[in-house]
Amino acid sequence: MPGDISKYPRARLTRAAFLKSALGAAVGLSTIGTGITAAGAASDGRPPDGRTPEVIKLADLTGPGLTTGFRMEATSLGIPAVTPDGRTLFIFGDTFENAKVGNGWWRSPVGLYSTTKDLNSGVQWSGAVGGSVAEQLWPYVHNNPGFSTVLPTDVLTIGGSMYLHVMVCRENGSVVRTEIWRSEDSGGSWTFTGAQFDAELHGGLFQQLTWAPGGDGYVYIYSTGFQRDKPIILSRVRQDRIADSTAYQPWGYSEGAWAWGRTPTPVLAGKFGELCLRRLGGRWVLTWFNAGEDRIEGLIADSLTSNLELAERKTLVYGTHWAGEDDNHVAQLYGGYIIPGSTLNQLHLSVSQWKTDTGWPYKVMQFRVTDFAS
């Protein structure tokens, strides 16, 4: 079965409990990140929520009649990036031919292309990696003696190259290791870079990640565990050394100061799932699945080393029960990836849903968030 762990229980961890247990008495709130980017704060240390964003579901992006032709009716994630040739490539995780988890041809990761320019009309598919059907991006056998499946966490374009970070997972959802793969033909084919990371690196906080170029020669990375019970840490790597696993520098606090290359210190407390970091309108936007609160959230920061605990933060899509769904309430949701073409005032997200007791719905949807930056 898939390595996706959205079916796992979501225990709640308070921010205060995390700070006490994970950081210790000597490292309090003032040591989480640097540089306040938002004026004013609520009693819990966060800024006022401001105007509530308007959220609507624009479309289902996958499912019967939508991706049947690619032999992928059941799929999730849909992590998008602009390709070197100008298209948008969406990378999906565990994918099945028929509209039910475990039913039919199993692949992961797979990719679909889109040339949609007007996101408000809904993303339309123009083709698949592999041709007429969505082929697995590289060959391996699922449920082999070493691992069960390979799940994508984020895809990045630097010049003419695309880089895909993946988690190699066992059937029980545990991570064996993570790897980086590269494409030189806009996602049409992928080769292993040789970069791999131990699953327990930084206490298991470098399993699920999101990354983006900083415009200064570095790629910046926010990462967490795959178990949806861990905080976020920050790292960086020179963009010409992405394939060198020894070149990654975590951001850590010790001896009264923050610096690169130190043991990483959590920069945002909570229970995090999927992450997405992108630069929009000259500012940094981070979206994530908040497993502790069962919702998709986002924040805006001026700097990647800003104090994220004080950054502008809003709830985008709420979790709910199956009878309570509407435009911004979705049952068993996860994901929340920023679709290229989004702006600070009109954010488009790919959001996943998996009804774990029946195996369907298991799909990706498009949501539009208006007034996110207000």
DSSP-derived pairing of the beta strands 149-158 and 295-301: unpaired
* Positions of the chain with pLDDT lower than 70, given as ranges: 1-51
Indicate the SS3 state at residue 76: coil
Exposed/middle/buried for 114, CB within 10 Å: 0-12, 13-18, 19+? buried
Which residue bears the tokens 């762990």? 5
Q: How far apart are the first and last CA of the chain?
A: 42
Q: Is the pTM of this model over 0.85?
A: yes
**Greatest distance between any 2 Cα atoms in the chain:** 58
CA 205, 228, 192, 336 dihedral sign is negative
CB 374 within 8 A of CB 314: no
Dist. CA 27–CA 270, nearest whole Å: 16
Mean of the per-residue pLDDT values of the chain: 88
What are the tens digits of pLDDT across the range 185-234?
A: 999 999 999 999 999 999 999 999 999 999 999 999 999 999 999 999 99
- pLDDT of 50 reads 55
Three-state DSSP state, 121: helix
Residue in the block written with tokens 């950054």: 311
Rg (alpha carbons) of the chain, rounded to whole number: 19
316: enclosing H helix or E strand? strand 312-320
pLDDT of the residue at 4: 42
Tell me what pLDDT residue 42 has: 32
- Say if CB 62 and CB 69 are below 8 A apart: no
Q: What is the three-class DSSP state of 184? A: coil
312-320/329-331 β-pairing = parallel
> What domains appear along the chain, each with residue ranges and CATH number?
15-370 (2.115.10.20)
* Residue 324, C-beta contacts closer than 8 angstroms, at least 6 positions apart: 331
